[in-house]
Amino acid sequence: MTYDEAASMAAHDAGATTQVALEEGESPVDPFIHRPGEKLPNGATIVACRRVEANPPYHIVLAMWLRGRNDCEYVTWASDLEGECYWGHYHNDDIGDAVADYLERGTLS
């Protein structure tokens, strides 16, 4: 699986799971969500993000760190609604493993 295929699959899943049903005129419940391509304060780049309905709700974030010009490391984090990331799973350069972890993590709550 290439990076582009994995990122597309993760972003598609994130888009499908971050939709919130709203009544007409109601504002979104979750005004905070990481967007693909954004940088986190720690320098990682967001690949995908989705909301997990739990108590309290949180996000699962798939991101990548650049390690030199042609090398990167993938990581999944939980993120609170203010954007603070914690509970990281690190996947070296294995995008397939990182995407699988990203898709699985929110389903365990």
Q: Does 25 fall in a domain?
A: no
Tell me the pTM. 0.67
Q: Does 23 fall in a domain?
A: no
DSSP string covering 70-82 = S-EEEEEEEE-TT
pLDDT at 32 over 70: no
- Per DSSP bridges, beta strands 45-52 and 72-79 are unpaired
Q: What average pLDDT does this structure show over 55-80?
A: 88
Q: What average pLDDT does this structure show over 71-99?
A: 90
Domain total of the chain: 1
Range of 87's domain? 3-18+31-108
* CB-CB contact of 94 with 74 (8 Å): yes
Q: What average pLDDT does this structure show over 47-75?
A: 88
| Alpha carbons 95 and 58: distance in angstroms, whole number | 22
Q: Does 90 fall in a domain?
A: yes
- pLDDT for 42 equals 80
